[in-house]
Amino acid sequence: MTRVIVSLTIFLALLGIAASVEHLLASEHYNAGFDEHPVPSRIHVILGALYLGLALVQFAGEVRRRWPGFHRVAGRVAVVAGVGAGITALVIAAWFPFGGTPELVITGPFALLFGYALARGLWLARRRRFAEHREWMIRAMAVGTSISTMRLIFVPALISFGGQEEVARWLSLVCFGIAFVIHSTVAELWIRSTRSGDGRAPEVVPRPLFRDLGRQVEAE
Ligand code: HEM
């Protein structure tokens, strides 16, 4: 199961980075607001991609064990980037949402959860409460990678519903909601199934790159 979760997380994170690169290279966007107000949109996708790239490295247990100083510095950069991506998501959803006014209602709570999970995760790490730190960073990653799952659901759904713009507007909101709920649910189940009975993550032996997404490392 760990292998499936890790592979999916890597795939979705890379897809999110690819979507950001595509957004930056595209001359026109489905949401005209992106072209009228390029600054918040570009800041959002650049910080989002930076967060996902760094977060992938942060979950690699081997990297944390060999270069703990890098983990601490990169972690702070990832938190700042993620919080920035969350704030700009709120700006876009409030200012020029493709899905209209309900977009803020659907994406807003998850943008806040994303920022809160990152801030709480950092706060816990500074207090050396690493088991809880791991859990909040998994919650943040679950929301961050859900934007890729949203696209994987949205594109085939839009094709099957006929592809008109009006349909795309409400369908994008439905897909945002479905992806957020699926990811947050899987993250909670995963956190609970990898936590020991006393609420702390179990002690384990060192394991290869990324496998620590499934277990807390004692060495921390
Ligand atoms: C963390 C990594 C993230 C990345 C890489 C990312 C990437 C992107 C990209 C590329 C777009 C532009 C859409 C496109 O051109 O296809 C976008 C738009 C958007 N993102 Fe994110 N995003 C991230 C996190 C979030 C989070 C956490 C939220 C909120 C919970 C969010 C909410 C939004 C919203 C509301 C839009 C505008 C949709 C619209 O109205 O057209 N994003 N994001």
Question: From the CA of 203, how far away is ligand 1's center (Å)?
Answer: 36
- CB distance 13 to 148 below 8 Å: yes
* Greatest C-alpha distance within the chain: 54
Question: From the CA of 196, how far away is ligand 1's center (Å)?
Answer: 34
Name the closest-CA residue to atom 3, ligand 1.
48
State the average pLDDT over residues 113-140: 97
- CB distance 131 to 201 below 8 Å: yes
Which one of 25, 27, 147 would you pick to mutate in the ligand 1 pocket, going by the greatest count of ligand atoms within 8 A of its CB? 147
Ligand 1 pocket by Cβ (under 6 Å): 16, 19-20, 23, 29, 31, 44-45, 48-49, 51-52, 85-86, 89, 92-93, 97-99, 103, 107, 110-111, 114, 143-144, 147
pLDDT-above-90 percentage for the chain: 84
Name the closest-CA residue to atom 12, ligand 1.
23
| pTM, 2 dp | 0.90
Which residues, 6+ apart, have CB-to-CB distance to 62 below 8 Å? 208, 209
- CB distance 42 to 70 below 8 Å: no
The phi, psi pair for 115, rounded to 5°, reads -65, -40
Question: From the CA of 35, how far away is ligand 1's center (Å)?
Answer: 15
Q: Structural domain boundaries of the chain? A: 2-214
Span 156-211, pLDDT tens digits = 999 998 878 889 999 999 999 999 999 999 999 999 999 865 555 554 444 445 55
In total, the chain counts a number of residues equal to: 220
| Alpha helix positions (H), 96-216 | 102-126, 130-160, 165-193
Span 6-54, pLDDT tens digits = 999 999 999 999 999 999 999 999 999 999 999 999 999 999 999 999 9
Measured distance between the N- and C-terminal CA atoms of the chain, rounded to whole angstroms = 24
| Cα-based angle 60, 62, 63 (whole degrees, multiple of 5) | 70
CA distance 141 to 9: 8
* Residue 110 CA, closest ligand 1 atom number: 30
Name the closest-CA residue to atom 17, ligand 1.
45
Question: From the CA of 147, how far away is ligand 1's center (Å)?
Answer: 6
For residue 151, what are its two tokens? 């696209």
